[in-house]
Amino acid sequence: MKQSITEIFGDRFLKPLFLPVLFLCAVIATALSCGGGQKDAGEETGPVTLTYWQTYNDDENALFTELIEEYRADHPQVIIKTTRLPFMGAEPKILTALATRTTPDIARVDGSFVPKLATRNALMNLDEIGPGTIMENLHPVALSSCVVGGITYAFPEQFNGLCLFYNKELFRRAGLDPEDPPETWDEFIAMGDKLTDPEKGVFGFGMRNSLWWTFPFFNTYGALFLSEDGTRCVLNGPEGVEAFQLKVDLYRTHKIEGGGWRAGGVRDDMGFQNGKYAMIFSGPWAVKTLQAAGIDFGVGLIPRGPAGTSTNVGGNDLIIFRSCQHPKQALEFLKFMASEEVQTRWANRLGQIPVNVKSEQHLDFQKHPYLNVFVEQMKTAIPRPPIANYDELENIMNPEMQAALDGTKSVQKALDDAVRRINREVLGAAE
Amino acid sequence: MGTREIGRTVEAGRGALTSRPEGRDPGKTLLNRPADRRSPYLSWRHLRIALLYIGLILGAVVVLFPLFWMITTALKQPGQAYSLQLLPDEPTLDNFRRILADYGFARYFLNSIIVATSAAFLATLFAALAAYAFAKKQFLFKRQLFLFLLASLMIPGMMYMVPQFAIVSQLRLMDTYAAMVLPHLANVFGLFLMKQFMESIPGSLLDSSRIDGASELQVFRHIVVPLSLPVIATLFLLTFQFHWGNFLWQLIVTNKESLYTVPVGLAMFRDAHEELVTLKMAGAAISIIPIGILFFFTQRLFIEGMTKGAVKG
């Protein structure tokens, strides 16, 4: 049985509605489409325009704006059109853009995101464009997240790692020398014991429990995450177990850790600022906040283990997407950002670690007294395992480590279970 | 007022209370109980009320404490951001000034108002029109079409994101308010909510208005809409709230800071490791104002809409 719309709704219904609906549609179309289109007039001709999605914080963005002005002056044929994104939204935005082929030319992304994009064939092979001699000057640790399967897909732009932050006032109160932080894990435990006063709610140490924040323990014990051929996870070896046992013991046996890792616990940075934790791990990003809070603090190297002092690696890299129509100009911009001059300015203005080793000789340690410790620490830093789905490692490891800290699993069992899942679900290795 | 007058007033009140439950033994009503029998009854009742109030107050404290924390943190100096102290040492409004003057939060706020209001209005309008058709009209495959639409509710919203983004991008709507609003106007949940409510409107009411010469539009405007006001208000509030807090979609369809909305603006206060907590709390404190105002004025209708739609008949 066929029915026309008029029959279904009735002529009396359609006629009076027709004009208002038409009007409404016109209003919606006109009102909502204001705000500009996708392309700028004149974009097709004239200077080359490079779109750049970045995630700088306020201080970084202020310096970056200055740098861009200078770059434009020196490169009048290149226009860098930037979009500032919130850090936490950058990854889903890029992945959505990737699925619809609307990626920008260049983006600043977290180092752990580069392998994921590279394995999706989303990035330009920079070796083919010719990165030039600047590669020799880039810090090898910073470069680690940029190279996937021997191919350079990114340029490091900023990198960091954890160091030991300690509260000098609490050191004084515990009768410890505020200029002499612990250098070994044994000293760390001994000092932590003196600093801990549970009745006053003060603990020697406050820690987090994600994999990234646990790498300093593993690294100082020389625990390998992957086998030499990179096909299997071997973190449950004797070194890995010993390293993580230390972390668990700090909380369960030595009782010098205040439970900052627990849900509902006072987080390490908050506890440090409120005099609850005498020592925490943190990085260059925390210095400004701690100074603003008026905390009397010092920075030292991560305590030495059997493999010496070491830390983890974080930071941001610059990538060029395959959709970029002007890869040479884009690479020039990446070189500019990683250049000795820019990195020196970046480090001296913001107190960050330069990715260009040549900049290290120009650092202003008077202005940034802790910067030398950070630079020193990064010399022995060990990068994250170069796995495309790094997030998956965190998702698998963290609950297992939590179980060991809670005491519901032994350290060996927790690491065995985690490694088994990583080999099966992430690396696809046979049992 | 003399004792006799008070007595009369009490008597009148007693009469009113005792007259209501017909056929019930007057001796069992509260005020007619003898004094010696009343006190244990009252004390147990009072205890229950006291416990109820204590529970409610504790619940309110749990619910309101984060708001209290947000506001006091917004009044703290940046150096005190992570302080566990409840109240700021030196309260300041500087965080509010900075987010408005230095961070363009007024613009984000305006964008959010435009997006949330237009989306809520249009989505409610379309849902009401569709619900009227499904509730009160007969047409081919009505049931099947409704089931098909309901089935789409089972698909997680994230699944729509990439196709919707592709459509918006192909239509060259990127960086427009339309991109933020249009993909969410077909609200199946709203359609379902309204249809259930509108089905409770007696068909005879609509028929009688038609007999009186009302057109379909007049029936909809003058009969259906006024009777459905609670559910319309509910859907408007829910849709407004959804768009007011929507972060991801509004981020991915905009590449211009001038079009960022409040949730995107708030996310800008955080980078990989650090967070400008006092500024973020100031922004969050401002951002709850429209929802608060909206809920304050529509709470009666909202509660009515949420409860009435559940009971058909």
User: What pLDDT is stored for residue B309 in this prediction?
Assistant: 54
Would the CB atoms of A293 and B271 count as touching at under 8 Å? no
Residue found by looking up tokens 């044994």 in the block: A186
Structure tokens given for B263: 């949730």
The 3-state DSSP class for residue A399 equals helix
A418: confidence class by pLDDT, cuts 50, 70, 90 = very high
Amino acid at B176: T
Exposed / middle / buried, residue B9 (Cβ in 10 Å: 0-12, 13-18, 19+): exposed
Contacts with B174 from chain A: Cβ below 8 Å: 37-38, 102
Contacts with A314 from chain B: Cβ below 8 Å: 272
Q: Is the pLDDT of residue A306 over 90?
A: yes
Mean pLDDT of B173-183: 94
**Interface residue A4 vs chain B (CB under 8 A):** no
Would the CB atoms of A16 and B217 count as touching at under 8 Å? yes
Mean pLDDT of A401-424: 96
Candidate from A35, A84, A96 with C-beta closest to B175: A35
> If we measure between CA atoms, which residue out of A120, A117, A108, A116 comes closest to residue A156?
A108
Q: Higher confidence at residue A9 or residue A357? A: A357
Q: What is the pLDDT of residues A317-329, one digit of tens each?
A: 999 999 999 999 9
| Percent of chain B scoring above 70 in pLDDT | 84
Would the CB atoms of A102 and B169 count as touching at under 8 Å? yes
Exposed / middle / buried, residue A187 (Cβ in 10 Å: 0-12, 13-18, 19+): middle
Candidate from B138, B166, B178 with C-beta closest to A100: B166
Residue found by looking up tokens 């408007």 in the block: B236
Q: How many CB atoms lie within 10 A of CB A257?
A: 25
Quick one: residue A95, left, alpha or beta (phi over 0 = left, psi -120 to 50 = alpha)?
alpha
Would the CB atoms of A84 and B268 count as touching at under 8 Å? yes
CA distance B231 to B235: 6
Least confident interval from A221-225, B17-21, B81-85: B17-21
Would the CB atoms of B274 and A83 count as touching at under 8 Å? no
Residues 6+ apart with CB under 8 A from A14: A5, A6
Per the prediction, chain A carries an average pLDDT of: 89
B contact test, residue of A57, A103, A159, A296 with most B CBs within 10 A: A57
> If we measure between CA atoms, which residue out of A245, A271, A58 comes closest to residue B99?
A58
Q: What is the pLDDT of residues A119-177, one digit of tens each?
A: 999 999 999 998 888 889 999 999 999 999 899 999 999 999 999 999 999 999 999 99
Task: Search chain B and give the residue with CA nearest A295.
Answer: B79
Would the CB atoms of B273 and A100 count as touching at under 8 Å? no
Q: Are A286 and A370 in contact (CB under 8 A)?
A: no
Would the CB atoms of A269 and B82 count as touching at under 8 Å? yes
User: What pLDDT is stored for residue B155 in this prediction?
Assistant: 87
What pairs with residue A305 in β-bridges? A308
Structure tokens given for A255: 């009782």
Candidate from B133, B140, B267 with C-beta closest to A89: B267
Residue found by looking up tokens 């580069």 in the block: A114
Q: How many CB atoms lie within 10 A of CB B267?
A: 20
Q: Is ipTM strictly over 0.95?
A: no
Would the CB atoms of A12 and B216 count as touching at under 8 Å? yes
User: What pLDDT is stored for residue A348 in this prediction?
Assistant: 96
Q: Is the pLDDT of residue A378 over 70?
A: yes
Residue found by looking up tokens 């309260």 in the block: B91
For residue A12, the distance in angstroms to the closest alpha carbon of chain B comes to: 6
Q: Are A174 and A194 in contact (CB under 8 A)?
A: yes
Q: Higher confidence at residue B55 or residue A45? A: B55
User: What pLDDT is stored for residue A40 in this prediction?
Assistant: 40
**Interface residue A16 vs chain B (CB under 8 A):** yes
Q: Higher confidence at residue B311 or residue A80? A: A80
Task: Give the number of A-B residue pairs with CB atoms closer than 8 Å.
Answer: 140
User: What pLDDT is stored for residue B41 in this prediction?
Assistant: 62
Candidate from B182, B215, B274 with C-beta closest to A32: B182
Rg (CA), chain B: 27
For residue B248, the distance in angstroms to the closest alpha carbon of chain A comes to: 7
Residue A372 phi/psi, 5-degree rounding, is -65, -35
Domain ranges of chain B: 3-80, 94-308
Mean pLDDT of B218-223: 92
User: What pLDDT is stored for residue A109 in this prediction?
Assistant: 96
Candidate from B162, B166, B274 with C-beta closest to A57: B274
Structure tokens given for A238: 């004797």
Would the CB atoms of A55 and B161 count as touching at under 8 Å? no
Q: What is the dihedral of CA A144, A148, A149, A150, to 10 degrees?
A: -60
Contacts with A83 from chain B: Cβ below 8 Å: 255-257
Q: Which CATH architecture has domain B94-308?
A: Orthogonal Bundle (1.10)
User: What pLDDT is stored for residue B8 in this prediction?
Assistant: 46
Would the CB atoms of B83 and A273 count as touching at under 8 Å? yes
Would the CB atoms of A88 and B216 count as touching at under 8 Å? no
Per the prediction, chain B carries an average pLDDT of: 85
Domains and CATH numbers, chain A: 48-161+314-378 (3.40.190.10), 163-312+389-426 (3.40.190.10)
Amino acid at B238: L
User: What pLDDT is stored for residue B181 in this prediction?
Assistant: 95
Model pTM? 0.81
Candidate from B118, B176, B274 with C-beta closest to A36: B176
User: What pLDDT is stored for residue A324 in this prediction?
Assistant: 95
Q: Is the pLDDT of residue B257 over 60?
A: yes
Q: Is the pLDDT of residue B10 over 60?
A: no
Task: Search chain A and give the residue with CA nearest B266.
Answer: A86
CA distance A421 to A397: 9
CA distance B72 to B50: 30
Residue A79 phi/psi, 5-degree rounding, is -110, 125
Contacts with A17 from chain B: Cβ below 8 Å: 216-217
A contact test, residue of B65, B76, B82, B164 with most A CBs within 10 A: B82
Q: Is the pLDDT of residue B12 over 50?
A: no
User: What pLDDT is stored for residue A18 in this prediction?
Assistant: 46
